[in-house]
């Protein structure tokens, strides 16, 4: 099991997809910093380029690099079929469940590792140009607290893992790059937009849509954006939202990984 | 006899199509098993079933006496190598990196084995070259180098001669013979029957998913009919003469070639043809080759 994991890690670092996504990340850091600098230069009383704002915006799974990650994870997974490396591992005597589990681990490391580097670099650029500065409102989320940032990081990590599990599930079943990318990206966007809509329409009637936050891993992003406006510019996670922001992505991680493993075992490998 | 592979009514059904139909296969340990069949006959599907890439719809198989449903099968497979359809290589990685990658999942720590494997397949000096820049033949050789890393006891090769030039084919043939002498059992599916004829110790003939016949090379040569081949322009006249002498087991080929399979002596044949006024241009005794044997077996007319 350790051998197959080490080999998959070795291949990932040498994979073109990994190199491409690293370059995309660096270009995006530079671009977002430049964009923030232009915004700050052209507006009075508003600051975009701060550490805390760069942290929360760069970590979002529904924006730039956050969307690029599942697309590249799909490329990595489809490559396993194209190059026949899934096949090699099974021929070498590994159980299909081990092979799939390794793919989940590699997908998680790929996603969390790269988003961590991207967020750290973005935050660093924000700190260099504008300090961390919690007193300045962040875009979308308004005034942030240390507790909010901590919770936000935790929920984001879980959401990224949920999207990674979903992406691997879709790509190992569809086995087609274009089709898988379309399904994953459209799903992420629909989940985010519906969470905004549901949270907006549920202000005052929250209980009517209560179930949705427990099954949508991106609900907390839409909900906090809406809540920030409702709370007069202060971002918070209420108790129910805090729990559902952990439960929903965990549900996705468990469901798609278990389902993915079963499908992978049952299916013939080309 | 000890067998590396035994299948018992092995069947694979895709939708309603029986790709493999109740195949009972026996590959003796230490043999080179030539697997012969037309395109779509089920050769690759059987290799995929044996390698665990696909699950049988019915029937069972065992590898080195271990049943495919046993947990032990994974340990057995660890010492089996296979190329299914084409070598599985990462084109963006170099040859060295591909071998190192394979060493990792095989759990092989000896780095010298990479150099040895490249040397064995004649690819020394190409370790730093990316696989995407390799020719088809070089990829095939590198694929075989990967197979050697885990010191296999059984190697399954699906059309290994594809893409190789005549020199490459000869080198691969020598390598297979050399490895077989070291005790490695081979299953080789190939369309190039003349090449199989040079190395195979046993044959399995498959058509439309069914294994028609299994035979050792020794028995195959015994079964390959002796014939007397004659060349004469007017084949109709020869036919008439043969019928007159109650010889009905013969075949006509283009360019006036006639093969007579009856246990008839060439001199007797010459004599009665001469009496009928037929002056033969050429006459020789010959054997049916493997290709003809296979075509006869499946009913003729199909490409092997």
Q: What band does B53 get if pLDDT is binned at 50, 70 and 90?
A: very high
SS3 B29: coil
Taking CA–CA distances from A79, the nearest residue in chain B reads: B90
Q: What angle do CA A23, A81, A67 make, to 5 degrees?
A: 35
Query: Which CATH number characterizes residue B190's domain?
Result: 3.40.50.300
Chain A contact probe: residue of B90, B99, B151, B152 with most A CBs at under 10 A: B90
Q: Which residues on chain B are in Cβ contact (under 8 Å) with A11?
A: 90, 93, 101
B53 to A269: CB separation less than 8 angstroms, yes or no: yes
Best-predicted range by mean pLDDT among A29-38, A161-170, B35-44, B251-260?
A161-170
Residue A235 has what pLDDT?
Answer: 74
Residue B36 pLDDT more than 70?
yes
A13 touches chain B (CB under 8 A): no
Give the one of A84, A87, A93 whose C-beta lies nearest to B74's C-beta.
A93
From A161's Cα to the closest Cα of chain B, the distance in A is 25
Query: Does B94 lie in the same domain as B27?
Result: yes
Query: Does B200 lie in the same domain as B281?
Result: no
- The answer for B 57-76 residues in CB contact with A (under 8 A) is 74-76
Query: Does B233 lie in the same domain as B154?
Result: no
Give the one of B90, B92, B107 whose C-beta lies nearest to A3's C-beta.
B107
Supply the range of the domain harboring residue B278.
Answer: 225-287
Query: Does B25 lie in the same domain as B169?
Result: yes
B51 touches chain A (CB under 8 A): yes
Domains contained in chain B, number: 2
Q: What is the mean pLDDT of chain A?
A: 89
Residue B300 has what pLDDT?
Answer: 55
Residue B19 pLDDT more than 70?
yes
Query: Does B262 lie in the same domain as B206?
Result: no
Query: Which CATH number characterizes residue B251's domain?
Result: 3.30.70.100
A16 to B86: CB separation less than 8 angstroms, yes or no: no
Query: Does B198 lie in the same domain as B115?
Result: yes
The set of residues, in sequence order, having a beta carbon less than 8 Å from that of A112 and lying 6+ positions away, is A157, A160, A161
Mean local confidence (pLDDT), B8-33: 95
Ranges B155-164, B246-255, B294-303: which has the least confidence: B294-303
In tens, the pLDDT along A125-135 reads: 999 998 887 77
In tens, the pLDDT along A173-232 reads: 999 999 999 999 999 999 999 998 888 877 656 566 678 889 999 998 888 888 877 777
As a whole-number percent, the residues of chain A with pLDDT over 70 amount to: 97
SS3 A22: helix
Mean local confidence (pLDDT), B28-55: 94
- Answer with the one of B163, B189, B215 that is the final residue of a domain: B215
In tens, the pLDDT along B250-261 reads: 888 888 888 887
Q: How many CB atoms lie within 10 A of CB B114?
A: 21
Give the one of B81, B88, B105 whose C-beta lies nearest to A3's C-beta.
B105
ipTM, interface predicted TM-score of the complex = 0.85
Domains contained in chain A, number: 1
Supply the range of the domain harboring residue A149.
Answer: 2-266
SS3 B67: strand
Query: Does B17 lie in the same domain as B135?
Result: yes
Least Cα distance to B121 among B141, B138, B95 occurs for B141
Query: Does B145 lie in the same domain as B13?
Result: yes
Backbone φ and ψ for A62, nearest 5 degrees, come out as -105, 15
Ranges A105-109, B40-44, B58-62, B275-279: which has the least confidence: B275-279
| In a domain? residue B7 | yes
Q: Which residues on chain B are in Cβ contact (under 8 Å) with A94?
A: 74, 105
Query: Does B27 lie in the same domain as B164?
Result: yes
Q: What is the C-alpha end-to-end distance of chain B, expressed in Å?
A: 30
- Answer with the one of B215, B234, B252 that is the final residue of a domain: B215
Interface contacts A/B by beta carbons within 8 Å: 78
Residue A239 pLDDT more than 60?
yes
């Amino acid at each position: 099991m350790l051998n197959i994991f080490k080999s998959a890690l070795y291949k990932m670092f040498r994979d073109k997809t990994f190199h491409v996504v690293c370059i995309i990340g660096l270009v995006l850091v530079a671009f977002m910093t430049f964009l923030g600098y232009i915004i700050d230069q052209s507006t009075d009383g508003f600051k975009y380029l701060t550490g805390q704002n760069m942290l929360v915006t760069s970590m979002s799974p529904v924006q730039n690099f956050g969307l690029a990650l599942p697309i590249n994870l799909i490329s990595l997974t489809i490559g396993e079929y194209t190059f026949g490396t899934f096949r090699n591992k099974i021929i070498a005597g590994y159980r299909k469940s081990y092979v799939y589990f390794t793919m989940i681990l590699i997908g998680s490391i790929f996603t969390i590792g790269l988003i961590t580097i991207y967020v750290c670099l973005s935050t660093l650029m924000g700190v260099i140009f504008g300090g961390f500065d919690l007193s300045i409102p962040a875009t979308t989320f308004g005034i942030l607290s240390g507790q909010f940032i901590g919770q936000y990081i935790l929920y984001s990590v879980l959401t990224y893992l949920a999207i990674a599990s979903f992406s691997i599930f879709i790509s190992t079943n569809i086995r087609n790059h274009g089709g898988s990318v379309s399904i994953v990206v459209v799903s992420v966007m629909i989940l985010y937009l519906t969470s905004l809509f549901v949270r907006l329409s549920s202000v005052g009637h929250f209980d009517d849509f209560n179930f949705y936050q427990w099954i949508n891993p991106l609900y907390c992003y839409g909900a906090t954006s809406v809540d920030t406006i409702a709370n007069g510019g202060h971002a918070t996670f209420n108790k129910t939202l805090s729990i559902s922001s952990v439960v929903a992505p965990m549900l996705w991680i468990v469901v798609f990984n278990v389902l993915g493993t079963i499908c992978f075992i049952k299916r013939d490998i080309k | 006899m000890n067998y590396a592979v035994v299948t018992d009514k092995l069947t694979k059904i895709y939708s309603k199509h029986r790709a493999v139909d109740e195949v009972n296969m026996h590959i003796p340990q230490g043999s080179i098993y030539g697997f012969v069949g037309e395109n779509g006959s089920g050769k690759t599907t059987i290799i995929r079933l044996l390698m665990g890439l696909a699950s049988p719809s019915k029937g069972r198989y065992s590898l080195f006496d271990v049943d495919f449903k046993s947990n032990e099968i994974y340990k057995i497979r660890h010492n089996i190598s296979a190329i299914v359809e084409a070598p599985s290589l990462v084109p963006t990685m170099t040859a060295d990196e591909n071998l190192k990658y394979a060493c990792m999942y095989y759990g092989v720590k000896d780095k010298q084995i990479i150099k040895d494997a490249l040397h064995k397949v004649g690819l020394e000096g190409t370790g730093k070259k990316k696989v995407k820049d390799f020719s088809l033949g070089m990829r095939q050789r590198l694929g075989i180098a990967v197979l050697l890393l885990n010191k296999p006891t059984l190697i399954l090769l699906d059309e290994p001669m594809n893409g190789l030039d005549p020199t490459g084919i000869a080198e691969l043939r020598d390598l297979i013979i050399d490895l077989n002498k070291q005790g490695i059992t081979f299953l080789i599916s190939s369309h190039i029957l003349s090449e199989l004829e040079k190395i195979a110790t046993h044959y399995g003939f498959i058509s439309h998913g069914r294994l028609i016949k299994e035979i050792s090379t020794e028995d195959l040569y015994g079964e390959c009919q002796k014939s007397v081949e004659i060349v004469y322009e007017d084949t109709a006249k020869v036919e008439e003469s043969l019928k007159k002498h109650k010889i009905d087991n013969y075949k006509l080929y283009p360019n006036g070639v006639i093969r007579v399979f009856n246990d008839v002596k060439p001199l007797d044949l010459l004599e009665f043809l001469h009496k009928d006024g037929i002056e033969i241009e050429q006459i020789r005794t010959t054997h049916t080759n493997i290709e003809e044997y296979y075509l006869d077996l499946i009913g003729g007319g199909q490409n092997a």
